[in-house]
């Protein structure tokens, strides 16, 4: 029988967490929310503004990619005076989803850029770049030093962009046809979406 990895969810006692913050205890303690294989989502109370009664939570995602450990994070804000605990839980789920989406998008984009790196044109390595574009001659006629420098910077940025039209197109096509293979991210994201939908449905009743 094939062994399948299961998503483990952990109940976090948020009222207790906030109470500990008010008592200035357990700051920085990691509270695991989800795990799937080598991927873990956790939350840490990072800061508490006693004047404004605002808690700042750092959400961490730890994972592995090609045997290498990596992580990313997202900062969530909870204002005790303006939001209920249920509001915060819904907001937290949105933050977890955003964190996962950011990791997935970054991973595929990095992979796409690496795959197509041979197509990338570095403007600094193009010979006689100034002679290829008439705009450069016009810029050289500008007498104001600051204005000329600004125009030259824009010229090089635009030229770099124009030279890499095909590179960007190929990167975009790669992203459309490939998926992120970091273990557990899509599975956890689905659980997060389902949990948020369930909470919103209850709130509408």
pLDDT tens digits for range 154-205: 888 888 888 899 999 999 999 999 999 999 999 999 999 998 898 888 766 5
State the average pLDDT for the chain. 85
Closest CA to 4 of 185, 191, 184: 184
At 134, list the tokens. Answer: 């008439």
Q: Read off the pLDDT of each residue in 33-62 and give the average, rounded to a whole number.
A: 90
Residue appearing with tokens 């689905």: 190
Gyration radius of the chain's alpha carbons:
24
State residue 145's pLDDT score.
Answer: 86
Does the pTM of the predicted model rise above 0.85? no
At 10, list the tokens. Answer: 């952990």
pLDDT confidence bin for 3, thresholds 50/70/90: very low
Closest CA to 189 of 59, 105, 104, 100: 100
């Amino acid at each position: 029988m094939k062994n399948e990895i299961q998503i483990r969810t952990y109940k976090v006692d948020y009222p207790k967490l906030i109470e500990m913050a008010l008592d200035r205890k357990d700051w920085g303690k990691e509270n695991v929310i989800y795990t799937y294989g080598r991927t873990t989502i956790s939350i840490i109370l990072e800061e508490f503004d006693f004047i404004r009664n605002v808690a700042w939570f750092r959400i961490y995602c730890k994972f592995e990619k090609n045997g290498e450990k990596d992580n990313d994070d997202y900062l969530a804000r909870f204002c005790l005076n303006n939001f209920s605990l249920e509001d915060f839980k819904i907001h937290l789920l949105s933050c977890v989803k955003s964190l996962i989406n950011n990791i997935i998008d970054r991973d595929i984009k990095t992979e796409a850029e690496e795959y197509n790196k041979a197509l990338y044109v570095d403007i600094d390595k193009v010979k006689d770049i100034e002679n290829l574009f008439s705009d450069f001659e016009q810029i050289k006629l500008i007498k104001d030093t600051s204005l000329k420098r600004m125009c030259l910077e824009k010229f090089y940025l635009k030229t770099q962009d124009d030279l890499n039209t095909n590179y960007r197109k190929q990167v975009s096509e790669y992203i459309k046809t490939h998926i992120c293979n970091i273990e557990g991210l899509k599975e956890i994201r689905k659980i997060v979406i389902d949990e948020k939908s369930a909470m919103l449905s209850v709130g509408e009743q």
